[in-house]
Structure 1
Amino acid sequence: MVNQDDPRVLRTRQLIREAFSDLLQKKGFDSITVKDIAQKASINRATFYAHYEDKYDLLEEITEQAFHKMYPEEVMNANEFTDEICSQLIILTYNYIVTFYKICGWDSKSIGTIVDEKIKKMLQETIGNIFLKDKTFRMEDNINTKIISAMTCSAIYGAAYSWFRDGKNDQTDLLLDIVRPYIMNSLNIYRNIDE
């Protein structure tokens, strides 16, 4: 097992990620092989396999790192699901989709499915963590939190993806004006309301 904190390991992993990203733009995911990545990174295949199981494992790591880098600090530290947090999650998700498809294009269905599922999972976890800290929600148990997080995630991701596919790239304010009230009004059903 490699020491993840060793500067040589970090450098090698960075070379692999950069080679992979470059190849994605030129070849597309489906036609990239581990041999291609290793050659581009100037390493041998055994070195690649010392760091990653396969190109899918590498893709998941890159997806996760890129998505987390885009998280505003306010979202990471949120204790309440406010209008502002909702807006930031919508824009974050939309911007990630735009960035991903600019790099990879529409032609790779397998990579799109993998990345979409990974992003949805991370978005749902983020929303769920905020709901668990938000004292204004009356969630009887973790099952409720998980289901409501999944529904909120689906609304955000579905709207952002649809907005991108419809080519409304310069109208993110309108996206927020449509999606945020829908989500926040839906969530009000689960808020503790003083009677």
Structure 2
Amino acid sequence: MEDFPYLDKRVQKTKQDLYSVFFELLKQKNYAQITIKDIIQLAECSRGTFYAHYNNKDDLLNEIIHFLFKKMVKAYRSSYINKASINIQKLVDEPLNLLNHFMHYGECYQLLLGNNIQIDFRDKITDAIISLYLKEFDIQSTSDKKKVDVNLLKRYSAYGLAGLILDWIIDDFPIEPYKFSIELMKTIQYSLGTIQIKN
């Protein structure tokens, strides 16, 4: 983990250490078995330092998820910054930045999706992608010009994208990001035409 939006370098290091330690512990035991004592001993920090930032381990977990999703949104948006619309049929590998994000933080995502943690993280990622897709895009037309419920088409596309990416993460990235991004675009292009970017 890196790139914390804090000016104080000590806070940056503390949070980086706590994030790293959290995932190290999650490799070894179930989330329910991880204690504050485990975290502070492995991070070599005091109980007071931990409680200066978090009330409990759930706060740490939620901050980690928020951090990852903030990075995910930034990666997702990077391919269409300063654009008013996108012609889906002309795109080639636009999901690449998003896929690179998931691969960069791959172990973190895999652990959060794994059996050692009993949270609905798969649903959280799916909801985050769908929410972003519905909020940012407005489908203008479909490739075959048939009349469809645009909201249903948007949700169908968003669920499909989220599901394919989640399978890719869980399967330990069997296709490298660039090739997978091209395959994703081919799949999306099969049913979509032009989308308008909402401001």
Do 1:152 and 1:183's aligned partners in 2 also have CA atoms closer than 8 Å?
Answer: yes
Distance 1:73 1:96 in 2: 17
Change (3 A) 1:42 1:167: closer
Letter of the structure 1 residue corresponding to residue 46 of structure 2: N
How far off its partner does 1:67 sit? 4.8
Percent identity of the aligned residues?
A: 24
For CA contacts below 8 A with separation 6 or more, give which structure has more relative contact order.
2
Q: Which 5+ residue runs of structure 2 have no aligned equivalent?
A: 1-5, 142-148
Letter of the structure 1 residue corresponding to residue 128 of structure 2: M
Do 2:22 and 2:39's aligned partners in 1 also have CA atoms closer than 8 Å?
Answer: yes
Q: Provide the TM-score with structure 2 as the length reference.
A: 0.62
Q: Provide the TM-score with structure 1 as the length reference.
A: 0.63
Aligned to 1:8: 10
Change (3 A) 1:87 1:12: closer
Do 2:18 and 2:43's aligned partners in 1 also have CA atoms closer than 8 Å?
Answer: yes
Aligned to 1:107: 115
Letter of the structure 1 residue corresponding to residue 78 of structure 2: E
Aligned to 1:49: 51
Distance 2:12 2:105 in 1: 27
* Pairing partner for 2:67 from 65, 84, 89: 65
Bigger Cα displacement from structure 2, 177-186 vs 16-25: 177-186
* Pairing partner for 2:81 from 71, 77, 83: 77
How far off its partner does 1:159 sit? 1.5
Letter of the structure 2 residue corresponding to residue 186 of structure 1: S
How far off its partner does 1:158 sit? 0.8
Distance 1:162 1:90 in 2: 15
Does residue 124 (structure 1) correspond to residue 130 (structure 2)? The answer is yes
Do 1:28 and 1:108's aligned partners in 2 also have CA atoms closer than 8 Å?
Answer: yes
Change (3 A) 1:121 1:173: same
Do 1:25 and 1:103's aligned partners in 2 also have CA atoms closer than 8 Å?
Answer: yes
Q: Which has the higher strand share?
A: 2
Do 2:17 and 2:43's aligned partners in 1 also have CA atoms closer than 8 Å?
Answer: yes
Aligned to 1:161: 166
Change (3 A) 1:62 1:14: same
Do 1:19 and 1:37's aligned partners in 2 also have CA atoms closer than 8 Å?
Answer: yes
Bigger Cα displacement from structure 2, 45-54 vs 146-155: 146-155
Q: Which has the higher helix share?
A: 1
Aligned to 1:27: 29
Q: Which 5+ residue runs of structure 1 have no aligned equivalent?
A: 139-143
Letter of the structure 2 residue corresponding to residue 100 of structure 1: C
